[in-house]
Structure formats: C-alpha cells, structure tokens
Chains A and B, each alone.
Chain A
Amino acid sequence: MSSTTRPPFRLNNSEFWTGVIGLGLGVFVIRSGLKLKLGTINDPGSGFMLFYLGLLMCAFAVSIILASVTEGGPTFGSRWEDVRWSKPVLIIACLIAYAFALEPLGFLIATIPLILLLLRIIDPVRWTLAVPLAVLAPVGVWWVLKHGLSIMLPTGTFEIG
C-alpha cells in the first residue's frame, strides 16, 4: 500500500472534516468531564468516565484525520454523486416543520399534511390514492391507540384527538 504514490491532500476531503468534527466533540466531552469533577480513584466523580472517553474520542478522531491526510479520501461531492440529494433535504425540511407543528397543532392536524406532503413531493403518488391514504392511515392508528390501548397522542391547543 505504501508503495503507491501518496495522493495529494485536498481540502474537500470528507474524511478529514468528519475527523475534525469528531475531534471537536472529543474536546467538548473532555471539558464537560473536567467541569463535572473527576473525583478520586476510590470514589470516581461524575466527570471521570466522560473525561477519559473524551481523550479516547480525540485519539480516534486524530487517527481518522491522519489517515485522511496520508491515504486521502472521497470528496464531499463524490458522496452525493448520482443521487437525488434534494429529496432527503425535502424530507428533512418537512420533518423539522412537523416537529415544530406537532405540539401546538396536535397529532392529527400535524400528521395528515405531513403524510400528504411526503406522498406528493418525493415520487408523486396520484392524488386519488394520496389523499385517502394520508387521511386514513393517521386517523386509523390514532383510533386504534386511543380505543384499543388507551394511549393518547398529542391533542394540541385545539384539543382535537
């Protein structure tokens, strides 16, 4: 392996940057551990484990970074080659909006539009199928949970559900 020529290091190397993120997390964990107190060996404190975990994380992150520098790695672009990157982004956006809407609107009012959106914006399902499915699936589950298992889904400020 070492006989092959070393690929030049590029800044858009994704391995390198995920390693840097790992290193950052490791440093954060070490700091949290120190703040929580290490204690002594016969009575370890709350931060004892976190501190040493943080050290380990840094070690692994550094080894990932070193590997990325010496062996190179796929670029960010190559990770998303030939795929429709916009689709997951759309779903993520929908889910984040849903997270904000769930508490105030309640399960039924928030979930029916979410399912409808998901059915229509990724690989559109025809309306005649999408609408009944988006309405019936959440309502059905809600009904079974409420009456069968007496589990209450969030009702929201309108108290629907």
Chain B
Amino acid sequence: MDVLTNVFHGFGVALLPVNLLYCFIGVFIGTLVGVLPGIGPISAMSLLLPVTLSGTPESGIIMMAGIYYGSMYGGSTTSILVNIPGEAASVVTCLDGHQMAKQGRAGPALGISALGSFIAGTFALIALMLVAPKLASVAIAFGPAEYFSLMVLGLVVLTFLTQGSMAKALLMACIGIVLGLVGLDSITAQPRLTFGRIELIDGIGLVPVVMGLFGLAEVLINTEQAIKRDVINAKITQLLPNKDDWKRSAGPIGRGTLMGFFLGILPGGGAVVASFASYALEKRLSKTPERFGHGAIEGVAGPEAANNAAAGGAFIPLMTLGIPPNVVMALLLGAFVIHGLQPGPLLITQNPGLFWGIVASMYIGNAMLLVLNLPLIGMWVKLLKLPYNVLFPLIVLFTIIGVYCSSNNVFDVYVMIAFGIIGYFMRKFGYEPAPLVLAFVLGPLLENNLRKSLILSQGDLMTFVERPISAACLVLAAILLIVPMLPSLRRKRELVALDEGA
C-alpha cells in the first residue's frame, strides 16, 4: 500500500502543468535526436544541462530523462528504413528490420518497435517502482570476474547472428575485439595499435564503424544492382502490425523486456548484450530460425523491447546507489548534483516526491512517445517511395553528418568511409558485419575485466568458476554453444525435434 500512496504522490508531481510541459519537450527532443543517427542523447543532454538550472529539480530531471528514453524510441527508425544503426543496440534491429522494409513491411517493423518499446518501457517502470531498492544489490554483485563471464556469454550470442560460415563469423569477431582494443590501454595507459596516430589514442569510435559497415556498405551494394529500384521491392500493404505479426511478437516482447530490464541494471554494456541476446534467444526458440535475417518480425520485436526495458533498468543503480551505469545516466547524475541532490541510498527516503515524480513522469512520457511516434510511421514509410538514385546520396549525406556530430572529429569521417569500403568487400566475400560489431563493443570490456579479475585472484583461473554468478554465465554460454548442434545432429539422424524449446 505504501507503494500505492507513493505512486499517487508521484503522479501528483508529474501531472503539474509545468512538469508535463518539460516532459513533452524532453521526449520531443529525444525523438528528434534519436532519429538522427550519431546525434545521440548525450550531445542533446549536455547542451540542455544548463537549461535545467532555471526550473525546479523535478522539471529539469524530468526533461533530461525524457530525452534519454525518447531517443531510445527513435533509435530504430533509420536502422529499419535505410540500414543505418545510430548505436550498438540498434545494430540488431538492422538485421531483420531493414529486410522487412525491403519487403515493403517497414510499417509493421516500425510499428512493432514503437509498440514493443512502449510495452517494455511501461513494464520497466512498474518494475522500477516495485523493486528498485531490492535490485540495487544486483548492480554491485557484478565484479570483474562476473563481467568477464557475462561478456563471454554475450560473445557466444554471435554464433546466432550468422547465416553463413561459422569460421568466418568467428574470424570477424576476433577482428572486432582487436579493433576495440585500439587506443590507450586502460590499465597500463600504454598505446596499442595506434600506428602513431594521435586520433587513435582514444580508440576507434563505434558510430563511424557501424555507420560504415552497415549504412555505407549497404549503399555500395545497392547501387551495383542493374535495376533502378526503390528501397522496397514489394508494394506497401499495411502500416501497422497485423494480427499475425502480434502473435509472433508477443513472446519475443515479453522475454526481451525481462532480459533487458535485468541486464540494463548492470553498469556498462548491459543494454547491448540484452538486445543481441534477445535476438539470439528468439532465433533459438523459433520453429523457423531460417527466417531470421530475412525479415522476421520477432527479430525486431524482441531486441527493441530489450533495448527499452534496459533503459528503465539503468535507472536503478543511479537512483539507489548513485552509480551511473552509462554515460547518459552519468549526465543525469550531473543534473541531480547541479540541483544539490545526491542520488544514493538516501535519495528515495529523503526526496520521495522527486523520485516518484520522475518515475510517474516517465510513465506519462512513454504514453506521449507512443502518440508522437505512431503517426510518424506513415511519413517514414512514404520516404521510402523516393527513387533510390535520389535517396542514396541523401543517405550518404546522413551518415557523414551523423558520424561528424557524434565526435566533432573529421578523422571519424575517414574511419567511416574506410569501414564502408571494408564492409562492401566483406559482404561480397560473405563475411558478416554483425559479429564484428558485437565483439567490438564487448571485446574491450572482456579484456579489461579478465585482466582485473586475474589481478584480483592473483592469477587463479578458478575465480571464474568459483563465483556463482560467473559460473552461471559460463554454464549458460556452454549450453548455448552446445544445444544448437543437437537438433541438427538429430535431424541428420532423421529424428524430428521440432516441438522442443517452445
């Protein structure tokens, strides 16, 4: 009952007209920056941080939070329409989302990602209200050894991302890790593989890599087709998901939400692992895994739900421990501190109006986002009716600007162009970019945590098996690796194993 009174109290704060206005401004800006790849919530929030000073702490933080989860909604749009992921978590959405767009099903893809996001976001908020303080311990239960094993589990997922040769996918993953390790070693501060280029000291940016490998390479592949064609081959039949789409998506959304929420609590990499893992899980559970990569709506619904639920989960360590799990949350922490508030164990008890007000406003913001985004789908789909010879130079322009804005650095534009060319040849020779990107994100975390855990355990490898969470991750990874081989073996023995795993 305590929770219920608090929730009412929270809505009382959130429904104040001024807070409603700030909430709307936040989600509106969030949608805008989310649609533009590269210009993520980070730049928008840093720019608006001073603006929040003028109002009350509630309205400032409500707006900042709005930008954050608003950008999560918009993030999938360019992935689906033109195969340009703006961040690592959207890479998965590209795999099937863009295929759906090519088949004339951009509407359902966008629709399921907006509705899936709404459902996941709502669930995450309810969970945040009910269990936030209890889950605080999850965030700190993960030490270096646990992170290492979680990253191993995350990397195993990549075996599900590929349709072609496993050796090629694994080679790509290794290259991804190596690329991720470029730059100053975070433990010894030694430069690695920088070839004396000062721009590489900071490492290779994720945005130029994904935009090159996906967006630009896609353009190169498309232009070599002899037929002058639109992005979409088929006629657009529907704008929203139909009954069959919903039936397929319900399970993935539910599972994606749960997975995203729990992995989102973990500082660093949680949201990315969640979206990739959700894709892998759905492909594994599907009775028709061969549809994945060719426009399966489950491959859009699950990861998108996971992605948004993770955004909700990420508030837990910030609000309860004052530990920001990612850069965006760190900016939000900045907004708190500027207003003289210290997120930490005492925040909820000392400032209940603030905490519950923010949570309630996020609920309202989620509903606003849905209203804002659904009508936009029609507009986005019309964009695809542009002939490709007009559209593709605009896509190129879009990638250049997105990459430049993500870092304000011309060097990143070179990196993007280089990866566009590499990505083109990779596709020509049947090497897939998704494993490379996943490994690129997880690799440095894997290495850093492996080294830290070995320092902590004084070189004892048993630390990974002795710690229960770590052991569980490793066991799960082993199961994931072994199980997919079983049905194929059985099939070879002409034993039908179709109804298992449903």
Among candidates B216, B224, B400, B457, residue contacting A83 with C-beta atoms closer than 8 Å: B224
Interface bits B417-449 vs A (CB < 8 Å: 1, else 0): 100110010001101000000000000001100
B residues in contact with A60, CB < 8 Å: 167-168, 170-171, 174
Q: Does B375 contact A (CB under 8 A)?
A: no
With CB as the reference atom, state the residue of chain B lying closest to A62.
Answer: B167
With CB as the reference atom, state the residue of chain A lying closest to B389.
Answer: A123
Q: Does B291 contact A (CB under 8 A)?
A: no
B residues 456-500 in Cβ contact with A at 8 Å: 457-459, 461
A residues in contact with B170, CB < 8 Å: 56, 60
A residues in contact with B461, CB < 8 Å: 41
Q: Does A7 contact B (CB under 8 A)?
A: no
Q: Contact at A88–B47, with CB atoms within 8 Å?
A: no
Q: How far is the CA of A96 from the CA of B420 in the complex (A)?
A: 11
Q: Does B392 contact A (CB under 8 A)?
A: yes
Q: How far is the CA of A92 from the CA of B418 in the complex (A)?
A: 9
Q: Which of B178, B420, B421, B447 has the most CB of A within 10 A?
A: B178
Q: Does A160 contact B (CB under 8 A)?
A: no
A154: shortest Cβ distance to chain B, in Å? 6
Q: Contact at B228–A50, with CB atoms within 8 Å?
A: no
A residues in contact with B431, CB < 8 Å: 18
A residues in contact with B446, CB < 8 Å: 49
Q: Contact at A141–B44, with CB atoms within 8 Å?
A: no
Q: Does B284 contact A (CB under 8 A)?
A: no
Number of interface residues of B (CB under 8 A): 63
Instruction: Known contacts A60-B171, A60-B174, A149-B47; decide if A18 and B429 are in contact (CB<8 Å).
Output: yes
A residues in contact with B221, CB < 8 Å: 88
A residues 83-142 in Cβ contact with B at 8 Å: 83-85, 87-88, 91-92, 95-96, 98-99, 102-103, 107, 111, 114-115, 118-119, 122-125, 129, 133-134, 137-138, 141
Q: How far is the CA of A93 from the CA of B390 in the complex (A)?
A: 19
Among candidates A14, A46, A96, A129, residue contacting B192 with C-beta atoms closer than 8 Å: A46
B7-15, B322-330, B407-415: which one contacts chain A? B407-415
Q: How far is the CA of A149 from the CA of B39 in the complex (A)?
A: 10
Interface bits B158-188 vs A (CB < 8 Å: 1, else 0): 0000000101101100110110010001011
Q: Contact at A57–B397, with CB atoms within 8 Å?
A: no
Among candidates A25, A46, A49, A84, residue contacting B188 with C-beta atoms closer than 8 Å: A46
B residues in contact with A114, CB < 8 Å: 393, 396
Instruction: Known contacts A46-B192, A138-B397; decide if A88 and B220 are in contact (CB<8 Å).
Output: yes
With CB as the reference atom, state the residue of chain B lying closest to A87.
Answer: B223
Q: Does B219 contact A (CB under 8 A)?
A: yes
Q: Does A72 contact B (CB under 8 A)?
A: no
B residues in contact with A152, CB < 8 Å: 408
A residues in contact with B428, CB < 8 Å: 79-80
Interface bits A41-70 vs B (CB < 8 Å: 1, else 0): 111111111100100110011011001000
B412: shortest Cβ distance to chain A, in Å? 11
Among candidates A46, A56, A61, A102, residue contacting B190 with C-beta atoms closer than 8 Å: A46
Q: Does A36 contact B (CB under 8 A)?
A: yes
Instruction: Known contacts A41-B454, A79-B429, A145-B405; decide if A154 and B168 are in contact (CB<8 Å).
Output: no
Q: How far is the CA of A102 from the CA of B387 in the complex (A)?
A: 27
Q: Does B356 contact A (CB under 8 A)?
A: no
Q: How far is the CA of A40 from the CA of B175 in the complex (A)?
A: 24
Chain A interface secondary structure, helix, strand, loop or mixed?
A: helix
Q: Does A159 contact B (CB under 8 A)?
A: no
Q: Contact at B394–A49, with CB atoms within 8 Å?
A: no
Q: How far is the CA of A92 from the CA of B257 in the complex (A)?
A: 41
Q: How far is the CA of A28 from the CA of B393 in the complex (A)?
A: 36
With CB as the reference atom, state the residue of chain B lying closest to A83.
Answer: B224
Among candidates A14, A82, A129, A151, residue contacting B429 with C-beta atoms closer than 8 Å: A14
A residues in contact with B220, CB < 8 Å: 88, 91-92
Q: Contact at B224–A85, with CB atoms within 8 Å?
A: yes
Q: Contact at A61–B39, with CB atoms within 8 Å?
A: no
Q: Contact at A83–B390, with CB atoms within 8 Å?
A: no
B254: shortest Cβ distance to chain A, in Å? 36
B residues in contact with A26, CB < 8 Å: 174
B residues in contact with A91, CB < 8 Å: 219-220, 223, 396
Q: Contact at A42–B174, with CB atoms within 8 Å?
A: no
Q: Does B404 contact A (CB under 8 A)?
A: yes
A residues in contact with B223, CB < 8 Å: 84, 87-88, 91, 122-123
B residues in contact with A96, CB < 8 Å: 417
Q: How far is the CA of A25 from the CA of B413 in the complex (A)?
A: 24
B residues in contact with A57, CB < 8 Å: 171, 174-175, 178
Q: How far is the CA of A45 from the CA of B181 in the complex (A)?
A: 13
Among candidates B177, B226, B393, B458, residue contacting A53 with C-beta atoms closer than 8 Å: B177
A residues in contact with B44, CB < 8 Å: 149
Q: How far is the CA of A18 from the CA of B393 in the complex (A)?
A: 30
B residues in contact with A80, CB < 8 Å: 428
A138: shortest Cβ distance to chain B, in Å? 6
Q: Does A153 contact B (CB under 8 A)?
A: yes
With CB as the reference atom, state the residue of chain A lying closest to B171.
Answer: A60
A residues in contact with B193, CB < 8 Å: 32, 50
Q: Contact at A118–B226, with CB atoms within 8 Å?
A: no
Q: How far is the CA of A53 from the CA of B431 in the complex (A)?
A: 18
What residues make up the interface of A, taking CB atoms closer than 8 Å to B?
Answer: 14-15, 18, 22, 25-26, 29, 32, 36, 40-50, 53, 56-57, 60-61, 63-64, 67, 79-80, 82-85, 87-88, 91-92, 95-96, 98-99, 102-103, 107, 111, 114-115, 118-119, 122-125, 129, 133-134, 137-138, 141, 145, 149-154
8 other A-B residue contacts (CB within 8 Å) besides A46-B187, A79-B429, A88-B220? A26-B174, A32-B193, A42-B454, A46-B185, A119-B389, A119-B393, A123-B388, A129-B390
> Mind listing 13 A-B residue pairs with CB under 8 Å?
A18-B431, A41-B461, A44-B451, A46-B190, A57-B174, A63-B167, A80-B428, A95-B216, A95-B417, A115-B397, A122-B223, A123-B223, A154-B410
